[in-house]
């Protein structure tokens, strides 16, 4: 009976400490990769991050943290328990998804606060795309004539330090730093569509 009691008191290493560390390493590697991916300035660089540097970073993180965690677990056996491995899995998922979540919030913020809204128009849809040249598409409902809409956006964007180029027969374009914005007015559908791109040089 005494041996059973002692066994119950001392926590067992129910799982692999290397696996626990590797999970954290995977999350860290993905976090580094996608943070770099979302903040690069050129599409070719972003492709290299995803297809070359990304896998290398993830593999190095998995091996390094796995080995470190296994060594640490020799003096702290409880860190290899199933509870800690579940925590490592949850932490890896959070780390891996954090850059995507931050990018999504930033793009929604741009769509909500940085786009001039034509008076008395109504927002119908907001679409986001994640890739090296992140894209935002916002569609408004409006009965206004095309000429009035394009004049409004020319005036508003110039006031916000965008360089503009209006084509009254079709669309409106504006550019600032690494961003470009297009305004399309579809009178038949009574819609205004705004498209915003990052890293326009790659399109």
Give the CATH number of the domain where residue 190 resides.
Answer: 3.30.310
Number of domains the chain contains:
2
From 72, 99, 126, the end of a domain falls on 99
Q: Strand 135-141's sheet: what is its strand order?
A: 122-129, 135-141, 191-198, 179-186, 171-176, 163-167
Residue 4's pLDDT band, with cuts at 50, 70 and 90, is very low
Is 197 domain-assigned?
A: yes
Radius of gyration of the chain (CA): 26
The answer to the question of residue 122 being in a domain is yes
Residue with more model confidence, 168 or 128: 128
- Assess contact for 121 and 144: CB atoms under 8 A: yes
10 Å Cβ neighbour count for 181?
A: 22
**Reduced 3-state DSSP string for 38-81:** HHCCCHHHHHHHHHHHHHHHHHHHHHHHHHHHHHHHHHCHHHHC
Compute the average pLDDT of residues 111-115.
Answer: 90
Tell me whether residue 121 is in a domain: yes
* C-alpha dihedral (68, 63, 43, 100), degrees to nearest 10: -60
Range of the domain at 175: 115-202
Residue 70 and residue 149 in one domain: no
pLDDT value at residue 95:
87
pTM (two decimals): 0.70
Q: How confident is the model at residue 10 (pLDDT cuts 50, 70, 90)?
A: very low
C-alpha span between 52 and 14 (Å, rounded):
35
User: Which tens digits make up the pLDDT trace of 57-108?
Assistant: 999 999 998 888 888 888 877 766 777 778 888 888 888 888 888 889 989 9
Would you state the pLDDT for residue 43? 65
């Amino acid at each position: 009976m005494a041996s059973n009691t002692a066994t119950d008191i001392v926590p067992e290493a129910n799982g692999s400490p290397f696996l626990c560390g590797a999970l954290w390493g995977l999350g860290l590697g993905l976090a580094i990769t996608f943070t770099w991916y979302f903040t690069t300035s050129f599409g070719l660089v972003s492709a290299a991050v995803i297809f070359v540097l990304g896998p290398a970073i993830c593999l190095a993180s998995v091996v390094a943290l796995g080995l470190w965690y296994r060594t640490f677990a020799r003096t702290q056996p409880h860190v290899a328990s199933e509870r800690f491995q579940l925590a490592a899995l949850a932490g890896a998922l959070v780390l891996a998804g954090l850059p995507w979540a931050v990018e999504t919030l930033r793009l929604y913020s741009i769509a909500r606060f940085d786009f001039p809204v034509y008076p008395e128009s109504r927002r119908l849809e907001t679409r986001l795309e994640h890739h090296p040249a992140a894209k935002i598409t916002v569609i408004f409902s409006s009965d206004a004539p095309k000429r009035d809409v394009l004049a409004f956006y020319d005036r508003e964007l110039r006031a916000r330090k965008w360089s503009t180029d209006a084509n009254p027969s079709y669309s409106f374009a504006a550019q600032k730093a690494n961003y470009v914005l297009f305004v399309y007015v579809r009178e038949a559908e009574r819609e205004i569509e705004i498209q915003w791109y990052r890293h326009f040089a790659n399109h």
